[in-house]
Amino acid sequence: MAYKYIFGPVMSGRLGRSLGLDLLGDRICSMDCVYCEVGATRDRTCERRVYVPAADILKELSLWKEEGLEPPDMITLGGLGEPCLNADMEAIILGAKRLFPGIPVAVLTNASLMTAPEVRRELCAADVVLPSLDSLVSEEFARVNRPDKSVVPEAVAEGLLTFRKEFNGKIFLEILLAEGINDSDENLGRLRIFCQRLAPDRVDVVTLTRPGTVKGVRPVDGEVLSRWRLALGGGETREKERRGRNGKEMSMERMTAAVTASLSRRPQTAEQLALALGADLDKVRLAVEALEKMGDVTRRDDRGETFYHGTGHVIED
């Protein structure tokens, strides 16, 4: 069946084979980051409410489980927008744990709402939290993340530091660098001090590897990336190749639905899709080509690779 709020599994270097839950159902976020792989934010807000009821998401998750496919390594709250905006977040985390006992639940967040005690409390139900903080220089933060006017980097940093004291799970901090935007020595110095205070379980310093929201935003070069990783303790993220899986094979109809859901939230190559879905590459290519002919998927060449994405993925000039 086609799912509205479940997508993937997606292959992640940090989380393994990750089944995604979309808590917003649309591009609703507290930021409009220039590198965002799901496209430009449609509604930039910090208002918390029930954008998608927990019951709707958990019903789909129960149906996914009944399909008998191989369980994922991780269930991850993310999708088209900032998951912490959904006031049903805690119920979704706890419901996922009931349906899949023993499988960790992770939350991808831009950390902007961690200034709120109730958000931090709800996030404590997760096993892994993956916050991002791309700059502690106000001007750079505004340029790279384009946040709601109420979001300032100093408050986000303090919220994260408070959360570290409250949370018993793992924190994987991500810092994404864009050339000439947030790769300054001033930012590196401030983030180095911050990382020493936060003491996350992992620091991932990355740069653009997929098409982002704004054309012309470029990745930093290897020398800059290596210098930042050395300074902040961030290692290179490597995707794990998985072979010989014994899970139930997807039908072509099911695969096409999974490809559609995945590409509506994250541009990927055919090879990345095949690896994440545990599917035959030739069959994935057939599904992508069929979707492209129907106008549901478009392609974009970026740095020598062909990425496919859903037609709702908006890129700014």
Report the alpha-carbon distance of residue 91 to residue 137 in Å, rounded: 35
Report the alpha-carbon distance of residue 139 to residue 186 in Å, rounded: 11
* 88-111 per-position pLDDT tens digit: 999 999 999 999 999 999 999 999
Report the alpha-carbon distance of residue 151 to residue 111 in Å, rounded: 10
Average pLDDT over residues 4-31: 92
* 245-271 per-position pLDDT tens digit: 334 566 676 777 778 777 877 788 888
End-to-end Cα separation, the chain, in angstroms: 36
* 11-25, 141-155, 303-317: least confidently modelled range: 303-317
Tokens encoding 144: 């790279």
193 phi, psi to nearest 5 deg: -65, -40
* 65-79, 92-106, 192-206, 222-236: least confidently modelled range: 222-236
Interacting residues of 288 by C-beta distance below 8 A, sequence separation 6+ = 259, 263, 270, 273, 297, 308
Interacting residues of 30 by C-beta distance below 8 A, sequence separation 6+ = 44, 45, 46, 82, 85, 110, 112, 113, 147, 148, 151
